[in-house]
Structure formats: structure tokens, C-alpha cells
Structure 1
Amino acid sequence: MKLFLVTKVVPFIMQLFVRFIYISSKKVFHHPKIDSKEPFIVAFWHGELLMQPFNYKRIRPKGKVSAMISEHKDGEAITRTVEYLGIDSIRGSSTRGGAKALIGAIKELKAGYDIAITPDGPKGPRHSVADGIVAISQKTNARILIFNCRPTKYWQFNSWDKFIVPKPFGKLEFFIQEPLDISSLEQKEAKELIQDKMLLNAMK
């Protein structure tokens, strides 16, 4: 019964609520022009992930993206929820199933599809950048698209990631930066650059 609630009922209700937030809000998009055929690594902070499927679908209405989601049990509800919103998943993270997720992400990019990653997930520290995003980018020569979402009205959880849930009937500002190329950088330099860029429009 619990498994049914986690995998079916809760995700269905969650995606309905997320759609209602989006539909009821005023939207402002700050998006660059991108190559429609170039596969990208989409990066956003764990605490801002809730509305990012809409950010992605706005810039790539027919695009295919797979999100790297933790194999921990708490990742199951998120996986099912984002599937309702048109996002596939690659299970695994920096703390569990990492090698499998890395291989899966590289395969997706080489097949011409996008992947999405939260560099500070699944357990933080908040607004940190783990090694995975650099490894994937440099092994595939895929550039990085940095996503942010800033709501004017929101609830903020007292969790490690300060998870943001926008309130209905507010304004959502969606940001996507120009594609970031880290192919020529050392790992430490690349991680610092990604972090700096991701913090430009981040929620505090």
C-alpha cells in the first residue's frame, strides 16, 4: 500500500499541483537562442528543481531530456512526478549508483539527447558542485545550460537544499544562460565557474 502511494498517488497529486502553480502564475522567460540539434547538459540547483520541466519545455518543446535522480527511496516520488511532466530519468547520483548514472548520461548525450543534473544533489551541501557534471561534460564535449527559476511568492522548506515551492498566482521568472563550455578547464576551475554562473540568478 505504501509503495502504491509513493509511486502512483503522491506523484499524480504532486504533478497536478505543480501544473496549477504554473498555469496560475505570470511567466517571464529569459532564454538564449540555442542550436536545436545540439545536446546539452541542463544544470539547476536541487532546491529549484520543481518548475524546471516547464523551463526546459519552453526552450525545447519537443526535446527529450533525462534527469539524473537519486536511487534513494526518496527519489522515487520525484522520478514519477517528473515523468508526468515529460522528463525521463537516469537513476543514480554522486552517493549511490554513480557509475551507472554516469554511463547512462554519456549514452544519452551521444545519442543526441539532453540530460539534466543537480550538481548539489542529492544531499548537498547546498549550492555546491560535485565532480559528475564536469566529468560528463568533458567526456562528451557537451556544453552546459544553466537553469534558474525565481518566484515572487513561495514556500521554502527548512531542508538542506532550502527547497522552493512557488505559490499560485505569483510571478515566475525563468532563466537560461548562454551555453557554457568547460572543455579546456581543469576540474577545480570548471567547478568554480559552474558554481559562479549558477549562483547569478539563484534563490537565496
Structure 2
Amino acid sequence: MSIRKKIADSEAVLNWVARRIASYIRMVNSNTNWQRIGYEELDQLTEQGEPVIVVLWHQRLVQSPYFFPLDKGRICSITSAARAGSMVGRVQKLFGMDTIAMSSRKRHVALSREVLGKVKQGISIGIAADGPRGPERVSSTVPLIWARTSGKRVFGITYSAKYGREAGTWDRLLMPRPWRNEGVFLCREWTDLVPRKATEEQIETLRLSLERHMNDITAEADRMMGREPWSKGT
């Protein structure tokens, strides 16, 4: 094994990196004047112990530890078992979130059983609809499958910031400026019903509906912060 790989796989190094990333996220949060819009229903459900499905875009992952009211309830984030996804999980754990690593070696049935076990414990589930590798802002069917199986309500959550830049990653990850910034967290329920015995055509229609919902709320948040909304192909 090469020195570089040993370092990259070192638990001490990975934990150090996770703490540095968490420090940046906390700095952004504390030095930004935030608006929190549309959370009334989610807050009420969480206080009542009712779990939900939370959906976000991978591009807005940075501030995800502040998407959910952790002071009112628990949430489990679904991450990739690959190195980058594993780092996301490490960071989110530092904020008190539960995580489940999704890998190609883990059978879908086993993953679903694990997810539904969390839901039965009253723990909400969070997932990036286009993660972990994209394509950018193309929703998978995974949130629909879990909404259908669990019967839980689905909330799209996003954020935007006035000052920040997009990283040169596949998702164009938004990196907010960690000082003297303005930002908004926007939460809105996706209200389409996912039938228990939905056909492939119905699932595709619902997938596109969820995709539009996420793009709409993210564009709204961006406009509030004076950012140019995302458009396909740009």
C-alpha cells in the first residue's frame, strides 16, 4: 500500500479532516444572518415525534447539518460508502446526526430494512436525491420508494447564500463565504401521493415532479439571495 493511500485511509487523518470541515460549516452558520422559511409544519411534526423524509440536492450539502431541527428530533442521513460519502457521514455525525452508508455491496433489501428500522424508531431520513455521483439535479427514485414504503411525508429543503462560490465538482457544490454573509433555509413539503402499487410510468411522473419541486425551491432561495438560478446545461 502506498504512503498516500495509507494517509488517505488513516482514521486519525480522516477524523482531523472531518473536524476541519465541521469547523468551516459552523463558522458559516454563526457568521451568516439566516432566514428560516417554511419550517412550521416540519417543526410541529418533529416535536410530535413523527418522522419524515427530507430531500435535498447534493449541491446544497454543505449546510445540511442545519437543515433539520435537531433540537426537536433525530434524523438519519443516507451517505455513500465511498471515501467522499464516508467523509460526509463523519462530518454529519459531529453535528449529532445518524448515518447509514449505502454501498453497491449492500443489498437493497438490507438497506431498506435498515432505513425502515430507523423510521419505526421515530427517526427521520435525509437523502440527496441526485447523490452520490449525479447526474447533477437528476432525482433518483429512492426518495419515492421510501416514501411509498414508509408512508411518511416528504419535505424538500434547500439553502442559499448571498456570498459564495461553486466548487469545480460534478455537483457544483455551493461553498458560502464564512464571514459577514446572508443566507436562507427554505423548507417546503412535496405533496404528491406515491401509490403503494405505482406503475413504472407513475414512478417516472412522480420522480420528475419531485425534481421540479427541488429545482423550484432552490431557484426561489437563490433569487432571494440575488444569485442566478441554476438552469440545465449552464
In structure 1, C-alpha distance between the alignment counterparts of 2:71 and 2:116, rounded to whole Å: 22
User: Normalised by the size of structure 2, how large is the TM-score?
Assistant: 0.80
Match status 1:88 vs 2:98: yes
Query: Alpha-carbon deviations, 1:51-76, whole Å to 9, x = none?
Result: 1221212xx52311010000112222
- Once the 2 structures are TM-superposed, how far is the Cα of residue 102 of structure 1 from its aligned partner? 2.6
Query: Alpha-carbon deviations, 1:100-158, whole Å to 9, x = none?
Result: 33322122112221010011000000101112111111011111110010111112111
In structure 1, C-alpha distance between the alignment counterparts of 2:107 and 2:143, rounded to whole Å: 11
Is contact 2:190–2:213 with CA below 8 Å preserved after alignment? no
Correspondent of 2:211 among 184, 195, 198: 195
Larger Rg: 2
Match status 1:8 vs 2:15: yes
Match status 1:41 vs 2:53: yes
Task: Report what 2:27 is aligned to.
Answer: 20
Identical positions, percent: 19
In structure 1, C-alpha distance between the alignment counterparts of 2:68 and 2:170, rounded to whole Å: 25
Correspondent of 1:138 among 126, 148, 152: 148
Closer, same or farther: CA 6–201 of 1 in aligned 2, 3 Å: farther
Q: For 1:104, give the aligned amino acid.
A: E
Match status 1:97 vs 2:106: yes
Task: Report what 1:172 is aligned to.
Answer: 183
- Once the 2 structures are TM-superposed, how far is the Cα of residue 96 of structure 1 from its aligned partner? 5.7
In the alignment, structure 1 segments of 5+ residues that lack a partner are none
Closer, same or farther: CA 119–129 of 1 in aligned 2, 3 Å: same
Correspondent of 2:62 among 28, 47, 50: 50
In structure 1, C-alpha distance between the alignment counterparts of 2:163 and 2:183, rounded to whole Å: 9
Task: Report what 2:223 is aligned to.
Answer: none
Closer, same or farther: CA 122–194 of 1 in aligned 2, 3 Å: same
- Once the 2 structures are TM-superposed, how far is the Cα of residue 98 of structure 1 from its aligned partner? 5.8
User: Normalised by the size of structure 1, how large is the TM-score?
Assistant: 0.91
Alignment root-mean-square deviation, CA: 1.8
Structure 1 runs (4+) greater than 6 angstroms displaced: none
In the alignment, structure 2 segments of 5+ residues that lack a partner are 1-5, 219-228
In structure 1, C-alpha distance between the alignment counterparts of 2:106 and 2:139, rounded to whole Å: 18
In structure 2, C-alpha distance between the alignment counterparts of 1:111 and 1:190, rounded to whole Å: 27
Greater RCO (CA < 8 Å, at least 6 residues apart): 1
Larger deviation, residues 163-172 vs 2-11? 2-11
